[in-house]
Amino acid sequence: MMPLENLAINTIRTLAMDAVQAANSGHPGAPMGMAPVAYLLYNERMKYDPSRPEWMARDRFVLSIGHASTLQYAMLHLCGVEQYQNHQPTGEKAVRLDDLRNFRQLNSRCPGHPEFGHTSGVEVTTGPLGQGCAMSVGQAIAGQWFAAKYDREGESLFGYNVYTLCGDGDMMEGVTSEAASLAGHLKLSNLCWVYDDNKITIEGSTSLAFTEDVGKRFEAYGWNVLRVADANDLGALREAFDRFDDEKERPTLIIVKSVIGFGSPNLAGTAKVHGAPLGVEEVALTKKSLGWPYAEAFTVPEEVRELFANGIGMRGSERYAAWERAFAEYEAKYPVEAKELKTLLAGELPEGWDAKMTPWEADEKGTASRNSSGKVLNQLAQGLPWLIGGSADLAPSNKSNLTFDGAGDFSAENRAGRNFRFGIREFAMAAICNGIATTGIRSYGATFFVFCDYLRPAIRLSALMHLPVLYIFTHDSIGVGEDGPTHQPVEQLASLRSIPNFVMFRPCDANEVSECYRWYAEDRTQPVGIALTRQNLPTLPRNEGGYAPACGVRKGAYVLRDRVNPATNLPDVILMASGSEVHEILEAQVALEAKGVFARVVSVPSFELFDQQDAAYRESVLPAACVRRVAVEAGIAMGWEKYLGNAGIFLGMTGFGASAPYKSLYTHYGITADAVVERVL
């Protein structure tokens, strides 16, 4: 008779094998090798209640090796995790046997890689290697921040541990190194990475390209490095996790030697079992070698179900009940903090959140939109006490520091700080912000706009996960000037506008900046980027001289200032622009009117929001009858075609910029009011 623990571990293995075989697609090797680790984490180690997978104080499990998704799906099934939707239980299990049978098929809760918000119990969307590791750093930061801000009287109610399963691919990706370096610096002792050291990648042995000593690297980062010689040694694994529990000053890396495809007589330890089904015959041989007594696929022995019910099921329920009682006492003693927590977790805004966000007075000289952004960010953060973030070593230039009393820096000494020093780690910054955002905290990251290319993969995951992360991008165009083409973004606006479920803003003055921040605060379904200038922009006299209020930002595009030909009751030409170029077309409008040409000026801060408006509104802004149109933007033309039509003209960049004062560059590239007038006439 097979020992019950071994039977449970082999159940995990066989579910993974059967799911991949049924789909004829997937990665069975890592789940087979690391099943003992997953078993111990879920059934013995984690503070987790399967019936309440959104419990704020739960431990988190991040499968950074997202291709090994059947390992997590098997665990969610065996633990009986409940499916939640809109923060409410649906009465269904998150992963049913039918979902495993339909692995990688349409409408299954077992997609090819774990997807946050699709399957309860999945804490982040993973698959692009390294990002799961980096996001787990964000989740660990959030756990420390919750505890520091809300715990009282020495009792820990709101902190938690984060366990991350990573592999050789993660260890090769640069973002993992960025995040690990920061985690060590911050001494995130609630973070435990388990490294599946199986020495195999898709191409074969890791010796082909990866021979470094990972343990020494992490020791240099300041991590507590532990080693387990055999993934099947449950005693050694338990001891390693105990040592993680005892560690109070460093994050922990447990290097676990495993055999990919463990149990397969012909494929174990080879690249052939990494990313392809074993095959019907090899599945049968593997089950035989494991001593698996069941012929039917997707078999879960009843005694295994009972083992998990009496393990994580009972333990999790008891721990949650104890926590709920403790929280009731906490709420009675600290009603203000408890209300704040409930508001945060519900994704709602506190009363008076925008009280400090006042309108900007008209100012012909104006200010750079990076400056107005910094002021509005601080106004919003004072009313939204769970808005936290920072810059990739560019805070003085990004104006992204929270400077009001009590903001402070998050550090190893101050876990309640709201400013983050991410260092020159753009990709990790964005991924960490994603991890933070999964907990309900609102996060932001800032850098120069041209460097958005460094963090684009994390922005994509922000959008996939519907996370309200704020990306503050300054130095938004050739207006950067003397720094030259390496620092002048020309294609970045078009690039980010192409990402589904991502809202990109480029405001033209301080009041548009404020409206961008309002929109971000009120929406919690998607990430937002704001592109901001280095050069000064006039603050327009709203509601005077025919200027429309800045609330038009919420529509994505709006008629900022209109001049209509009395003979046709339409403008003769529509001038469109975003950001700093709006002021060029406003100047052109005046010059054209002096020559008898009536122009409509349309500010277009967000393509995405404008495209979401109904046809009637879009027609009211860009009437089809007016085919003469000019768009002006200090970037490439891509995307403007849909607004310009066949007869429209674009003035902007067709290549990279150059090093010179910004006014010289605008003249050189023909992005001026005079150039607009010339093209219209």
Q: At what angle do helices 69-79 and 4-23 cross, to 10 degrees?
A: 130
Tokens of 222: 């300041």
Contact yes or no for 99/29 (Cβ under 8 A): no
> How buried is 662 (Cβ within 10 angstroms: 0-12 exposed, 13-18 middle, 19+ buried)?
buried
What's the CA angle centered on 466, arms 461 and 468, to 5 degrees?
Answer: 100
For tokens 């046997």, name the residue: 97
Name the helix (H) or strand (E) containing 227: strand 224-228
DSSP state of 349: P
Provide the sign of the torsion angle of the four alpha carbons 282, 285, 287, 293, taken in this order: positive
Closest CA to 266 of 252, 254, 250, 283: 283
Burial tier of 432 (Cβ tally within 10 Å: 0-12, 13-18, 19+): buried
The two tokens of residue 548 are: 């429309």
Other Cβ atoms less than 10 A from the Cβ of 466: the count is: 15
Helix, strand, coil percent content, the chain, rounded in steps of 5: 45, 15, 40
- Contacts for 624 with CB less than 8 Å, ≥ 6 apart: none
Interhelix angle for 4-23 vs 280-289, to 10°?
180
Residues 515 and 622: their CA atoms lie apart, in Å, by 22
Which of 675, 529, 486 is CA-nearest to residue 588?
675
Q: Which class for 260: exposed (0-12), middle (13-18), buried (19 or more C-beta within 10 A)?
A: buried
Unique residue bearing structure tokens 């338990």: 238
Active site residues: 426
Tokens of 19: 């799911």
The DSSP result for 65-88, as a single string, is: SGGGHHHHHHHHHHHTPEEEETTE
Please name the residues in contact with 100: beta carbons below 8 A apart, sequence gap of 6 or more. Answer: 15, 18, 19, 22, 70, 73, 74, 77, 110, 298
Residue 288, phi-psi category: left (phi > 0), alpha (psi -120 to 50), beta (remainder):
alpha
Q: Which residues of 471-508 are buried (b: 16+ CB within 10 A; e: fewer)?
A: bbbbbbbbbbbeeeeebbbbebbbbbbebeebbbbbbb
User: For residues 529 and 497, what is the distance between their CA atoms, to the nearest angstrom?
Assistant: 10
User: How, if at all, do strands 536-539 and 363-368 pair?
Assistant: antiparallel
Cα–Cα distance for residue pair 569/182, rounded to 1 Å: 60
The distance between the two most distant Cα atoms of the chain, rounded to a whole number of Å, is: 96
Size (the chain), residues:
681
Query: Dihedrals φ, ψ of 139, to 5°?
Result: -65, -40
Nearest CA to 624 out of 644, 596, 599 is that of: 644
